[in-house]
Amino acid sequence: DTGVSQNPRHKITKRGQNVTFRCDPISEHNRLYWYRQTLGQGPEFLTYFQNEAQLEKSRLLSDRFSAERPKGSFSTLEIQRTEQGDSAMYLCASSPRGSPNQNTEAFFGQGTRLTVV
């Protein structure tokens, strides 16, 4: 296993187009997170899945954003009708589920850099 894999690494799109990103988590990690990172800022939480269930969504995730994890393995993040403000690095992370009241390490992928022109 080589870690969390994200594709594509870079995406340039015209304003108004739809884009989809894919994240393959570490095998057997049942938690999967999406974050967005803009230049000079820390990652901001977007949403997370436990297996196939989407358990939390940030207010940052507007109606144009949708995420899925259909079989509890890979996940996709789609942005419809992209805007210039969507330009950012989109990071995926995965972690195994620990025992109650136990946090476990989140492993990040290398991200997909989106540029909307």
Partner 1 sequence: QQQVKQSPQSLIVQKGGISIINCAYENTAFDYFPWYQQFPGKGPALLIAIRPDVSEKKEGRFTISFNKSAKQFSLHIMDSQPGDSATYFCAASKSQGGKLIFGQGTELSVKP
Binding site for partner 1 (CB under 8 A): 4, 31, 33, 35, 40-45, 48, 55-56, 91, 93, 95, 100-111
**Are the CB atoms for 4 and 108 separated by under 8 Å?**
yes
Determine phi and psi for 25, rounding to 5 degrees: -75, 175
Inter-residue contact 20 to 8 (CB < 8 Å): no
Whole-number minimum distance, CB 48 to partner 1, in Å? 6
Cα–Cα nearest to 94, from 61, 62, 69, 60: 69
Q: Closest CB to partner 1 among 44 and 80?
A: 44
Residue 55 beta carbon to partner 1: minimum distance, rounded to whole angstroms: 7
Taking the least distance from each CB to partner 1, the nearer of 27 and 103 is 103
